[in-house]
Structure 1
Amino acid sequence: MNNDNTDRIFQPLLFRHLTVKNRLFRSSISGRWDNYDGSGTHARLNWEEKFARGGVGAIITSFVPVHVRGRILPNYAMIDHDDKIPFWREAVKRVHTHDCKLIMQLSHSGRQRDVPGIENQMNVGLSSTDKMDTFHGLLCRAMTQKEIADVTGYFVAGARRAREAGLDGIELHASHGYLFTQFLSSGINDRKDEYGGSLENRARFLIETVRAIRKEVGDDYHLQVKINAFDENNALYPWEKKGNSVEESIQLCQWLEKENVDCLHISAGSLFPHPLVPPGGFPLDVAKWTYGAMISSGVRGYFNYTFFHYRCLRPLFAWLWNRTKKRYPIEGVSSEACGLIKAKVNVPVLNTGGYQNGVLIRKVIEAGICDGVAIARPLIANPDLPHILAEGRDEPDKPCSFCNRCLLNAPANPLGCYDLRRFDGDYDAMIADIMSVFHPPAFPE
């Protein structure tokens, strides 16, 4: 292993109240490993630990709902009640064994619920607006001000539980089209009260939540926010509003810095999946089989499934999905915009979006574009990527292809790498790798 202290990737990253051993963060990724009631499982512990063992400096958990109506999928571990604290305490213990930090991503889906749980089947999603999302047709209604205050309270309680469980910090998920984005984005938020209109009003919900969390957990606990550098809300359908610009995101980040946020995690996109995030392909052959799990989620579900199912219709969807992608790289898709934000703030900045090449990671850190990178899919493909980079290699022997088969399988199947090419065509070997998260078992002989 390369112990050269001049390698910027492996220099510690210092925050106000947290030190991470290197500049590689595992971004928010998780399959449906947990119990239907949101309690965690042994498989989830194995899942988190394998990335800690692989050498990342910190793990940002999957989307952790602060309330049952705010989950994107069933079978995700939640933080909605004190009875969840013991599980997360055990997760911290397992991750810390490998000198890795664990940061909880506190989240609420709003209208963006990929698979509605039984709690949502008779309810529309809560949002800033009454308008459904344009991709899946997920129905919603505008939240009352009391509901906004209630959800802020859920985030505060989640933050308190995270600290009690020993998490090293928390991240508010305010990107990728989830609830905070639905308020922040000018392409989505059409409210006429003090939570809509100007950027200051659209940011009010997030800012109020940050202040309330600080009041509850104190100023000495690590708090970061994940936001979009830009929305590109019309990336799929050109007749939609474009949404927030980089300039608006810079202003928002400066406001968050004044609220004593310790780190800014920069991504992009006003919905998920978005044509730019995660970058890479949209395997329509996979969507044919897996998108059916979402047909009941939104009124456009069957319409989309028809496009995916019939080969003759796929080119039209592919054209819509890919038409804006040519302006952006796959690796470091939002890096240019992230650099513009980094230049205007003084807190550390993370960037996510397709990082796996060591040369590029060093470049963005050394150029001052970001202070560290958050990685998702390339770590699914190669959980030991940090060790590979530390050995002086710039890429794994079998790198992530950014095919996004992992993403499209996630609503229905265990999360893992489904790119059969990486397993030399051996289907059984691929399935064994995907199922490895269930080993060692919870009750060994």
Structure 2
Amino acid sequence: MNSINLSEPFSLPNGQSIKNRLFKSAMSEQLADKQHNPTAGLVTLYQRWAKGGIGLAITGNVMVDRRALGEPKNVVLDEKSDLARFRAWAKAGKQSGTQIWMQLNHPGKQIPKFLCDEPVAPSAISLGRGLEKGFNTPRELSETEIYDIINKFALSAKLSKQAGFTGVQIHGAHGYLVSQFLSARHNQRQDKWGGSLENRLRFVVDVYQAIRHEVGDDFPVGIKLNSADFMKGGFTEEESMQVVQALSANGIDLIEISGGTYESPSMMGSKDKPVKASTVKREAYFLDYMEKVRKLVDTPLVVTGGFRTAPAMNEALSTSVTDFIGLARTMAVDPDFPNKLIDNPDYGMPLIAPTTGKPALDKMAMVGLVWYEHQMWRIAAGKNADPHLSALGVVVKTMLSAGWHAFKKRRV
């Protein structure tokens, strides 16, 4: 045990300093314009979060290929992007000494049918558990296409640095393309990109190395990685730890741990894998995993999922199993949550579970996602979040603006 607390700064191995131990994990904002550039709302939202005291903010997933969108209003950063719009976003996110890293992503086959007729993936394998109804069967990537996507990640990272972002994070979790390559369930290739774990992790290592080549050693590069997919035949905890070790050996700057996929969104618990009582008490879903990882690597770590109170956060830091506390939905409800946590060592926020009062409608309309999305939209419009926002009203507004397409399975 040690005396580390939320307000203490942290220096990454490359010398970059982060002002405190609070980390805003990525949430999908759905705030791009028709050309997939950042809107003024994104600038307002990240300026508000920066002023709220967060040490490091990770953007919602920015796509590296405008032909492959996970959601209709995803931001894309490529050679066609308006860099001036990205510079404004980065400038806003750096206020108050905050760092802002761009999360880079390719959805692979996790593209709803209404957005793409023929998605691509490591192998031509459909999503399961009923999701094949909303997602088309992917085409297997050729090796040339694999290298093209690796280069797209590198280009987006290079452009993010030019725009003034202070780092990037590779999205390697939640069943998107990097995660698909890592999973034996979804990657059944017979070439150097599939089969053994050594081959399956080649894609993410090559993505990292290509990014590093473009941005240099002083620019932070992190990754969000699943602790496991919680699927039979999928990415296991043991494999995850081996990937962590491989990326650590390659010099990655920061590793955030999450878990689950569209097929098995186990991060919040399920009938198949309920959240343990000890996990509920500690508030963090992945601390048991982090304790094992900490024995293997010295790379800075972030655990995201479940934290609600300052005492639990400080206790997690004091054990040294994590270096940062990942926050997400609490930031959508109260952008000042970090400042309040630092100012009051007993402060906490209960989890808000929005409901229409009709469980079937909640599930169909994905109320647990879109309610928080609407809170971010309120902040982006210059308003305050509303903890009493009507869940039924959110469903109606979403229906009127986008129809039922808005409720297609999008993001874990």
Q: Please tell me the residue identity of whatever aligns with 1:181.
A: S
Cα shift at 1:81: 2.4
C-alpha separation between the residues in 1 aligned to 2:81 and 2:375?
32
Question: Unpaired runs of 5+ in structure 1?
Answer: 1-5, 234-240, 281-320, 436-445
Question: Is 1:8 matched with 2:5?
Answer: yes
Aligned residue number for residue 247 of structure 1: 238
Equivalent residues of 2:70, 2:111 under 8 A apart: yes
Q: Aligned ranges for residues 16-95 of structure 1 at < 5 Å?
A: 16-81=14-79, 83-95=81-93
Aligned residue number for residue 291 of structure 2: 339
Q: Aligned ranges for residues 223-302 of structure 1 at < 5 Å?
A: 223-233=221-231, 241-269=232-260, 271-272=261-262, 274-277=264-267, 279=268
Cα shift at 1:399: 2.6
Question: Is 1:364 matched with 2:316?
Answer: yes
Per-residue displacement from partner, 1:267-286 (whole Å, max 9, x unpaired)?
A: 111x1374322x26xxxxxx
Per-residue displacement from partner, 1:175-225 (whole Å, max 9, x unpaired)?
A: 110000000012221111111111000001111111111122212211011
Aligned residue number for residue 373 of structure 1: 325
C-alpha separation between the residues in 2 aligned to 1:400 and 1:45?
26
Q: Please tell me the residue identity of whatever aligns with 1:272.
A: Y
Equivalent residues of 2:48, 2:335 under 8 A apart: yes
Q: Aligned ranges for residues 24-423 of structure 1 at < 5 Å?
A: 24-81=22-79, 83-114=81-112, 116-117=114-115, 120=116, 123-135=117-129, 136-137=131-132, 138=135, 139-233=137-231, 241-269=232-260, 271-272=261-262, 274-277=264-267, 279=268, 321-327=270-276, 329=279, 331-396=283-348, 399-402=350-353, 408-409=366-367, 415-417=373-375
Cα distance change, pair 371–134 in 1 and its aligned pair in 2 (3 A): same
Cα shift at 1:408: 2.3
Percent identical: 26
Number of residue pairs the alignment of both structures matches: 371
C-alpha separation between the residues in 2 aligned to 1:81 and 1:23?
34
SS of residue in 2 equivalent to 1:171: strand
Cα shift at 1:411: 7.8
SS of residue in 1 equivalent to 2:198: helix
Q: Please tell me the residue identity of whatever aligns with 1:344.
A: L
Cα distance change, pair 209–374 in 1 and its aligned pair in 2 (3 A): same
Cα shift at 1:76: 1.9
Q: Please tell me the residue identity of whatever aligns with 2:120.
A: L
Q: Please tell me the residue identity of whatever aligns with 1:262.
A: D
Q: Which segment is superposed worse, 368-377 or 160-169?
A: 368-377
Q: Please tell me the residue identity of whatever aligns with 1:134.
A: G
SS of residue in 2 equivalent to 1:394: coil
Cα distance change, pair 370–81 in 1 and its aligned pair in 2 (3 A): same
SS of residue in 2 equivalent to 1:70: coil
Question: Unpaired runs of 5+ in structure 2?
Answer: 356-361, 377-384, 399-412
Equivalent residues of 1:187, 1:242 under 8 A apart: yes
Per-residue displacement from partner, 1:379-414 (whole Å, max 9, x unpaired)?
A: 112221112212225344x53235597992588788
Per-residue displacement from partner, 1:38-63 (whole Å, max 9, x unpaired)?
A: 11111111122221121110110000
Q: Which segment is superposed worse, 403-412 or 166-175?
A: 403-412
TM-score, reference length from structure 1: 0.77
Cα distance change, pair 256–426 in 1 and its aligned pair in 2 (3 A): closer
C-alpha separation between the residues in 2 aligned to 1:379 and 1:115?
31
Cα distance change, pair 173–250 in 1 and its aligned pair in 2 (3 A): same
TM-score, reference length from structure 2: 0.83
C-alpha separation between the residues in 2 aligned to 1:273 and 1:403?
22
Cα distance change, pair 194–395 in 1 and its aligned pair in 2 (3 A): same
Q: Please tell me the residue identity of whatever aligns with 1:250.
A: M
Equivalent residues of 1:358, 1:395 under 8 A apart: yes
C-alpha separation between the residues in 1 aligned to 2:351 and 2:44?
21
Cα distance change, pair 116–273 in 1 and its aligned pair in 2 (3 A): same
SS of residue in 1 equivalent to 2:96: coil
Cα distance change, pair 186–52 in 1 and its aligned pair in 2 (3 A): same
